[in-house]
Structure 1
């Protein structure tokens, strides 16, 4: 189907998109939305009002599969679509992994497109409206074309900027390299040009995205050049730079220097540890030891003393003993994380860890998980106490979900901050602005205080 035919088939259609998983999935959804917008479709907030329902999926944990199946099956009870026909599409990692096999669990899906097929979404959906066939595209394509598609940003002041796709690490528990492919980096010039354009459009904060940003450029230039990229992006005039994800084995001294020396780089680093046990780290194929990780933390804090460190931790990896878990607890206490994403191990077929035997009772794993959560709560609370009575610059995102008279935003350290709206102020006038908040309460997961000075 040619471009005109696709436009004719989709013009005037409404679409709803729901995203599961990581920031890369969020960005993929923005690209899909941008493509559909360019073809004459319009976004709606309720699947009942949509001619096209799209689920962008994650397959890191088993619960994500079950959630997707439930969401797809719930579409069967929706009222008739506004146009008279509704197309259900599934994209992302589950689509890439399962392809046509996805239909074993859901029988009402019309389009399945993998992580490499985003640029073809319009054509696939248009074809589904024209006939009653299922249209499936999951072939691997090493092109970076999807990263330069039009996009529909959720926020005018923030943009996700992918700098690379894929992953070469093959951690033994992780399905990502199998569904996202090998690492492929954009050029430094292309990324800088994109950020420059975003700054001109009013974007104040960018998040650089990759499965392992620290290895950016290795495939293209022969060696990682992420430090150079940080410096050049910092020269664009963007006010805040964040990035994710960072693999500890590739965090180089020059990158730490760039983080410390580029004013726009926020003092927050997400550095996934996964386990505090060297033995388990080896089974995970993480390629660093407990001692390596702690030395890296020391190096980061020597250059950026007040940095906020966050992490990912897996509990119950096959073969984990109580001694292994005790090392994880002690590492978390030693680092003093400001936040951590904690997970109970989820077996993913197709990964080496899925074949590892394990007879640890579920109740033992759950007890360990609960103990870890308590430690993280304690370290997060302790970290936030450093902000008490300080003035923190906050990028306003909106209002608190619990109270529309309280604004909510993020500090440079990525802490959630609340403050009452100044008298006479409208939140619509403040979203995307930076305000100063004097902190008078520091809780485990947020700071709160009062606005001082004018928004800027």
Structure 2
């Protein structure tokens, strides 16, 4: 997972003096989606977004608990926010004789769920702690905060209650900006990998009904969205109620979404190898709207380590899935996740991981040193790998993965790709978009094409991006 930061854009339609909201997001795409929805639920209360915490009346840190450093970054950020809050309170008291203009600070997400009491103890400046299944209660919690500080709301709420409270009929349309959007369809995890805290912070697997997803997706398209990424901790385990009341599959959901006029691109993440069903693999060959990109974490190439991780699959099962999906979509780009230095990992185990990487030939991947998370079985394993050994292995793995990613990007040179332009570039007139393979593509003199899908001839490729020239001025 990649740390992302920023505040969702919220339309300033609340009057001449809106209150100011700043949300800083850590972790995965699901946290990005949750941050957008928190902004949505606060918009009717008069909150409009600001780009800095210094300007904010309400600051939310939407946290990730996957790695130790991510959690520590939250505490570091809270220390900075406390200084801002103290200064705001002092200035307000001096000017008005009271401290009514003080900043409100909330911690949301998985760190909030796992370490709520510790957060309140370590940082008295925090007013609210809100678990990932409770952010729809923010308006009510703000009212309580005005009376007394220090309420912790956990994730002991059914996910359906959260989504029921977030319908457009209750809070208005989503405050999306741009032609792409995330849409959560599944939450929680039943896999219980020994290194992971998600089952404890997000709860058991739960899937939204198909009808609700179609309604939200349709509303997004009406607001200009052309590409939707379906999100879930195990998104391909999706089994929400279909139109007939029986459980659907992600493949059937994808077919239903493909029928929405104006929805041109569809992606999904993150998947588990054991849930790559036959109909989902077939859908990649049947649906043009389904992009030729699959993020399928494996974590290790060693069968012994995968058993210690409780992944419930081996390298052979994973490679078989890759072969089957390439058979129906030969041009598909494969992405993955890797953990090195897992407790008990030997040099031979690591060599098995390198061998799997060479066999798959990834278009992109995320790789990390193992980070023990309190309360997980792996954290109590006796054979912890020294950091120096794990770091050296990570460097070797990343060198191979970066080599593969650079080669994949270079292989696109000379090809013509349909690019969905999403935002302005750094240079005047420059535009940046995404290829079907999720590569970043930039062109000159393309700013007028934002929100459009345009044919681009790729002229160069680096490890991280492609550059090209527009060859079709008329948008697709």
Q: TM-score, structure 2 length as denominator?
A: 0.88
Report the equivalent of 1:76.
82
Give the deviation of 1:405 after TM superposition: 4.1
- After TM superposition, give the deviation of residue 455 of structure 1 in Å: 4.7
Tell me, yes or no, if the aligned pair for 1:147 and 1:162 is still in contact at 8 Å.
no
- For residues 391 and 377 of structure 1, what CA distance do their matches in structure 2 show? 23
CA distance in 1, matches of 2:396, 2:175: 39
Q: What per-residue deviation string (whole Å, max 9, x for no partner) do you get for residues 394-440 of structure 1?
A: 11122334x34432110011011111125xxxx2x322111221111
After TM superposition, give the deviation of residue 188 of structure 1 in Å.
1.4
Give the superposition deviation at 1:315: 0.7
Q: How does 1:417-432 map to 2 (within 5 A)?
A: 417-422=441-446, 427=447, 429-432=448-451
1:361-389 Cα shifts (integer Å, max 9, x gaps):
22111110000010001111222233111
Pairing partner for 2:311 from 248, 271, 286? 286
Instruction: Evaluate the alpha carbon distance shift between residue 84 and residue 391 of structure 1 in structure 2; reply closer, same or farther with a 3 A threshold.
Output: same
CA-based RMSD: 1.9
Pairing 1:135–2:151 present:
yes
Matching residue within 215, 223, 238 for 1:193: 215
- State the Cα deviation string for residues 198-235 of structure 1 (Å, max 9, x = none): 22232101111111111111799776611111111111
SS of residue in 2 equivalent to 1:398: strand
| One of 9, 13, 33 as aligned partner of 1:27 | 33
| Residue equivalent to 1:5 | none
Kindly indicate whether residue 323 of structure 2 is the aligned counterpart of residue 307 of structure 1.
Answer: no
Partner residue, 2:194: 172
CA distance in 2, matches of 1:345, 1:105: 26
TM-superposed CA distance for 1:317, in Å, is 0.5
Deviation at 1:75, TM superposition (A): 1.1
Q: Please point out which of 40, 53, 56 is paired with 2:46.
A: 40
Partner Cα separation in structure 2 for residue 410 and residue 207 of structure 1: 13
C-alpha distance in 2, partners of 1:230/1:387?
27
Q: Given the alignment, which residue of 147, 150, 171 partners 2:163?
A: 147
The equivalent residue for 1:203 is 225
SS at match of 2:204: coil
TM-score in terms of structure 1 length: 0.92
Does residue 125 (structure 1) correspond to residue 133 (structure 2)? The answer is no
| Contact 1:395–1:435, Cα closer than 8 Å, also in 2 | yes
List alignment gaps of at least 5 residues for structure 1.
Answer: 1-7
Contact kept, 8 Å, 2:230 with 2:266, in 1: the verdict is yes
- 1:364 pairs with one of 368, 389, 395: 389
Deviation at residue 297 of structure 1 after TM alignment: 0.6
Alignment partner, residue 9 of structure 2: none
Q: Could you say if the C-alpha distance between residues 173 and 223 of structure 1 is closer, same or farther in structure 2, counting changes exceeding 3 Å?
A: farther
Q: Identify unmatched segments of 5+ residues in structure 2.
A: 1-13, 93-99
* Match 2:368 to one of 339, 343, 349: 343
Name 2:434's counterpart in structure 1: 410
> Shift of the alpha carbon at 1:261?
0.6
2:55 paired with 1:49: yes
**How many residues end up aligned between the 2 structures?**
440
2:265 is equivalent to residue 246 of structure 1: no
